Amino acid sequence: MANIRPATAQDAPAICAMWNPIIRDTVVTFNPIAREPSEIVQMIATRQAGPGAFFVAEDAGKLLGFATYAQFRAGLGYGRCMEHSINLAPAARGQGLGPRLMTTLEDHARVAGHHVMVAAITGSNDGSVRFHAGLGYVHVGTMPQVGWKFGQYHDLVLMQKIL
């Protein structure tokens, strides 16, 4: 069974190796620029300093997935509203690891005093919408054509869960 733990700087290359094909080959994220390990090291440090967190799932030293959250929007008024990202290695999908990572993330956010967790999902990513709905997230809006990638506009589905 995979171990879930806080990410460390040493995880950055493996996180990049998992995240960059998603960035490069899919519209799961609208970001078109590959992540560098130094960027991930900084993201881990910043999020773990708060508000936020960065967790990884591993088995026998192999990274299987990661989940992270940070403040949804800047400003004090949004200080208890967080947005997360979760990614699993293809071989780790469908085995219950995603819900375990999300439970870890949500429990951390709840203990830290946060109230809402937001999922911002590419409109065509039906699997992610179903995944989040199964975890109790509700659809709160769709922003048509706000993302641009691969020469096309993409919708953004917003889902949230009251923690």
Give the domain range for residue 105: 3-162
User: Could you tell me the pLDDT band of residue 53, with boundaries at 50, 70 and 90?
Assistant: very high
Q: What is the pTM of this model?
A: 0.94
User: Could you tell me the pLDDT band of residue 135, with boundaries at 50, 70 and 90?
Assistant: very high
| pLDDT at residue 79 tops 90 | yes
Mean pLDDT of all residues in 47-68 = 95
> Could you report the per-residue pLDDT of 4-29, keeping only the tens digit for each?
999 999 999 999 999 999 999 999 99
Beta strands in 22-91 (DSSP E): 52-59, 62-71, 81-88
pLDDT for residue 65:
97
Domain count, the chain: 1
pLDDT for residue 1:
81
- Who contacts 121 (Cβ-Cβ below 8 Å, separation ≥6)? 128, 129, 132, 156, 157, 158, 159
CATH number of residue 13's parent domain:
3.40.630.30
